[in-house]
Structure 1
Amino acid sequence: MTDRLTQLQEAVDQLTNQFIACFYFLERHHDLEPFGPSDKIPDLKPEQQKEVDSLPPEVFQAGMLELARDLILKEQQIELLISSLPGLENNEQDQLKMMRDLEEELKVAEAQRLEAIKEKEEVLAKLDQVLRMIRRY
């Protein structure tokens, strides 16, 4: 499982992709309507491709509603991830104390690791002596 920051970054990336998909949908499927009285919609020549693939108004509205719901859902997921990040409920002094405690635990674990390595080397040396004695007989 990935850590919370990675999950948050992935969620923000997904939200960005959703924004792009929304812009693409709106740009490709809107109605061709003039903004003002002097605006004109050019007639297409047979060899020209349509820039806009207009959808019926109810289908376009349903698509926008679905995209908006998806954006809201992703935003809520991001808010949940942000609220679950560690340290938001602790002040700076508490976080520094927690870091010092973790450093002490790390020092103890490192000392145990070094002791285990020393013990391993001693056991290997004894095993080597035993094997050499066995070979002599």
Structure 2
Amino acid sequence: MEDRLTQLQDAVDQLANQFIACFYYIERHHDFETFGPNDKVPDKKAEQPDEVETLAAEEFQAGQIELARDLITKEQQIEYLISSLPGLDNSERDQEQSIRDLEEELKVAEAQRLEAVKEKEEVLLRLDQVLRGIRRY
């Protein structure tokens, strides 16, 4: 499983891609409207550029709503990932104490590992002695 920072970076990259997809959708499917008194709107669809495929107002708005929901969902995922990062709710003292606790656990685990290695060597030595003690017939 990926670490939280990698997941966060992936989510931010996905959000950026979603923003681009939203801009593309709006640019590709908008309706021609005037914004000022000097603007002109072509009367015929034949005159509109090939890169624009005007959608019905309801369909265009439904697409915008769906894209907005996707953006909100991704943003909430990013907020969750940020909130799950270590250290945001912990003071520096708490983090240092956590590191000390982990170091103690590591020392205990290392002592157990060394004991297990010592036991393994003793068992191997006894096994070697048993094997050497067996005579071939």
Q: Normalised by the size of structure 1, how large is the TM-score?
A: 0.80
Q: What is the rounded CA distance, in whole Å, between the counterparts of 1:44 and 1:55 in structure 2?
A: 12
User: Which residue of structure 1 aligns with residue 73 of structure 2?
Assistant: 73
> Residue deviations 1:4-63, cap 9 Å, x none?
333323322221221121111112111234554555578999xxx711111112211111
CA distance in 2, matches of 1:135, 1:63: 84
- Secondary structure of the 1:86 match is coil
Give the match for residue 116 of structure 2: 116
Secondary structure at the counterpart of residue 68 of structure 2: helix
Given that residues 44 and 50 in structure 1 are in contact (C-alpha distance below 8 angstroms), is that contact kept between their aligned partners in structure 2?
Answer: no
Number of aligned residue pairs: 135
Gaps of 5+ in 1: none
Give identity over the alignment, percent. Answer: 75
Q: Equivalent residue of 1:116, what SS?
A: helix
1:98 is aligned to: 98
Q: Which amino acid aligns with 1:125?
A: L
Q: What is the TM-score normalised by the length of structure 2? A: 0.80
Q: 1:1-137 maps to which residues of 2 (within 5 A)? A: 1-33=1-33, 35-39=35-39, 50-136=50-136
Structure 2: gaps spanning 5 or more residues = none
Output the CA distance in 1 between the equivalents of 2:3 and 2:132: 50
Superposed CA RMSD: 2.7
| Aligned residue type for 2:15 | L
Q: How big is the shift at 1:136?
A: 4.8
**1:109: how far off?**
0.9
Query: What SS does the corresponding residue of 1:64 show, helix, strand or coil?
Result: helix
